[in-house]
Amino acid sequence: MVKVGIIGGAGYTAGELIRLLINHPAVEIAFIHSTSNAGNAVSDIHGGLIGETDLRFSDSYDLSAVDLLFLCSAHGQSRKFWEENPLPATLKVIDLAQDFRDESCGYVYGLPEVNRKRIAQTVRLANPGCFATAIQLALLPLAANGLLKSEVHITAITGSTGAGVKPGATTHFSWRNDNISVYKAFEHQHLIEIRRTLKMLQPSFADDVNFVPMRGDFARGIFASVYTESDLTAEQAVELYKNYYADAAFTFVAEREIDLKQVVNTNKAIVRVAKYGNKLHIVSVIDNLLKGASGQAVQNMNIMLGLDEKLGLNLKPSAF
């Protein structure tokens, strides 16, 4: 059994990560750290885990006692954690924050659909952002084949869990329910990692990536609508995407219209490609807490450990 530890265990992504790991056949959780919840039962905070685990939060941790560590604290806290703690040379690390997504400090960017070989060889991994995952999966086949010819336009909507567990003015029920709003238009932080990956795959690409994020009145999921000019026919585009994702464990190309309920509660990503005049339109859907966070982290863990990539991730979608 692989022994793992979790730093920052009280948030939404940590809750989903715990749910996956306690049911993972090759993993044993050694500790779940949370200073504010130390001593409390994990199921007191993550109510969906009642009857699933007797684990309790701890205010201490022993990094030498685990093979792999998940960092689930807020953005900026991962770098602070390593400033305060020596990093064991053999410890594998998966950071779910944005601190190392620039691949600094020896971290590899953990998007399996583009970096699987590097992920298998690394001991330091930076898990991608949720919007970044959905949007990159919509564009990877084009960039990998040098086919991004003009600026890219994106509108994507996310569920309320994307804002984190801490209540805020735009997350409480009475505001979010029956409501929709734009935020961080053209300035969302995930644009940095999106542009970096596209440039890596297609160095000549220099056009704008225009991203308008939106808050939805649902709990989880990301629905991304992406379009750009293209000379491909509809048939060529579909074939291009199917070929690119032929060996992907969790990314699938659909030939019919897609919706969020096909992926919510799963680690799947589904993309749909269509042609309208000279515009190629790509729709991409994921669960922001799973393929956009904790599920992808477990997928990356499996790859890093040489396990079956799908192990512990056979989840049923909330289709109805």
At residue 252, what is the residue type?
F
Helices 130-144 and 234-244 pack at an angle, to 10 degrees, of: 110
21, 72, 130, 226: the active-site residue: 130
Instruction: Give the pair of three-digit tokens for residue 215.
Output: 């808050």
For residue 314, give the nearest of 240, 250, 235 by alpha carbon: 250
199: left (phi over 0), alpha (psi -120 to 50) or beta: alpha
Q: Tokens 């450990």 appear where?
A: 305
Q: What is the 3-state secondary structure (H, E, C) of 158-222?
A: ECHHHHCCCCCCCCCHHHHCCCCEECCCCCCCHHHHHHHHHHHHCCCCCCCEEEEEEECCCCCCE
N-terminal to C-terminal alpha carbon distance within the chain: 35
Q: Is 130 a catalytic residue?
A: yes
For residue 55, give the nearest of 82, 78, 27, 88 by alpha carbon: 27
Cβ atoms 17, 8 nearer than 8 A:
no
Which residues are tagged catalytic? 130
